[in-house]
């Protein structure tokens, strides 16, 4: 997607919406400029995150289907554990735990935002938003507290380049020196994880891409796509809540999941 200079500057400012607390303007700007030159071929580095770090994380071995209901209307999401096993596994695990039920979409940048903006993202998944008395200004700072550890579960950044056997972990494609497009790209309807400037800081917050956002490719982990109900996503407004989220297919492919 080609953007005019003014549109680009606006997106540099609003891309901070994908970050949790702690992003500085410079860090936001840096994360908004991935190298999208896919023609060159670069050897893909080995996985950097240790097996010890990853072994206890939920993993999705294949694909699953999640139906998320907002204002009584379903959004069907295909979750891709083939190309993003840890990121997809984390999402499916949180769905099965009921973490997303009742949570707020705390950031909407698009036609339904106030004032209306160019279509960008709808973001939610902060567990703090389940409390109706929690300050809306502080939403976007929370993640899933794992009852087994008492600490916030954070998953490594996971991006699989086209033609690679395994994903790259804990680094953006640009910082890893990879000039290939990721397998899972930010096309309209993509579902991806929000994070801070630290690569391995994603927890429970996710976003829907309201348009093709190729400048995010290689910087944020896409793990699925909307296959039905994009019209529902387009109508989401800031403050709307997730009625429920259920795994309808593929729950048997989740390993190391909770309840």
This prediction has a pTM of 0.83
10 vs 174, higher pLDDT: 174
Interval 18-64: pLDDT, tens: 554 333 323 333 333 222 222 233 344 434 444 545 778 999 999 99
Interval 150-166: pLDDT, tens: 999 999 999 999 999 99
From the list 241, 247, 185, the residue with the least C-alpha distance to 216 is 185
Tell me yes or no: is domain 5-255 CATH 3.10.129.10: no
Q: What is the mean pLDDT of residues 214-241?
A: 98
Q: Is 142 helix (H, G, I), strand (E, B) or coil?
A: coil
Q: Where are the alpha helices (DSSP H) in the chain?
A: 5-14, 25-31, 51-54, 85-97, 230-234
Interval 169-180: pLDDT, tens: 999 999 999 999
From the list 183, 184, 225, 232, the residue with the least C-alpha distance to 208 is 225
Half-sphere exposure of 150 (CA within 13 A, CB side): 0
User: Are 31 and 25 spatial neighbours (Cβ–Cβ below 8 Å)?
Assistant: no
User: Are 244 and 66 spatial neighbours (Cβ–Cβ below 8 Å)?
Assistant: no
Predicted confidence band of residue 99 (pLDDT cuts 50, 70, 90): very high
pLDDT at 26: 31
Residue 258 has pLDDT above 70, yes or no: yes
For the chain, the structural domain boundaries read 5-255
User: Are 203 and 213 spatial neighbours (Cβ–Cβ below 8 Å)?
Assistant: no
């Amino acid at each position: 997607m080609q953007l005019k200079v003014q549109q680009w500057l606006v997106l540099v400012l609003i891309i901070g919406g994908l970050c949790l607390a702690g992003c500085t303007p410079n860090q936001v700007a840096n994360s908004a400029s991935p190298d999208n030159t896919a023609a060159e071929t670069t050897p893909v580095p080995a996985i950097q995150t240790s097996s010890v770090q990853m072994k206890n994380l939920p993993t999705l071995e294949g694909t699953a289907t999640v139906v998320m209901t907002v204002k009584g209307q379903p959004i069907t999401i295909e979750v891709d554990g083939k190309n993003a096993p840890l990121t997809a596994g984390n999402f499916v695990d949180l769905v099965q735990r009921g973490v997303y039920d009742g949570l707020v979409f705390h950031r909407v940048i698009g036609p339904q935002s106030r004032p209306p903006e160019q279509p960008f993202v709808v973001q939610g998944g902060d567990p703090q938003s389940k409390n109706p008395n929690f300050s809306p200004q502080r939403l976007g700072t929370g993640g899933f507290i794992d009852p087994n550890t008492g600490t916030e579960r954070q998953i490594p950044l996971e991006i699989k380049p086209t033609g690679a056997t395994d994903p790259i972990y804990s680094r953006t494609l640009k910082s890893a020196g990879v000039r290939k497009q990721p397998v899972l790209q930010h096309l309209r309807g993509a579902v991806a994880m929000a994070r801070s400037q630290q690569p391995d800081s994603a927890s429970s917050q996710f976003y829907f891409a309201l348009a093709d956002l190729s400048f995010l490719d290689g910087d944020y982990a896409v793990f699925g796509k909307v296959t039905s109900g994009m019209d529902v996503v387009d109508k989401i407004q800031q403050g709307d809540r997730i009625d429920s989220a259920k795994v309808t297919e593929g729950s048997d492919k989740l390993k190391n999941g909770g309840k």
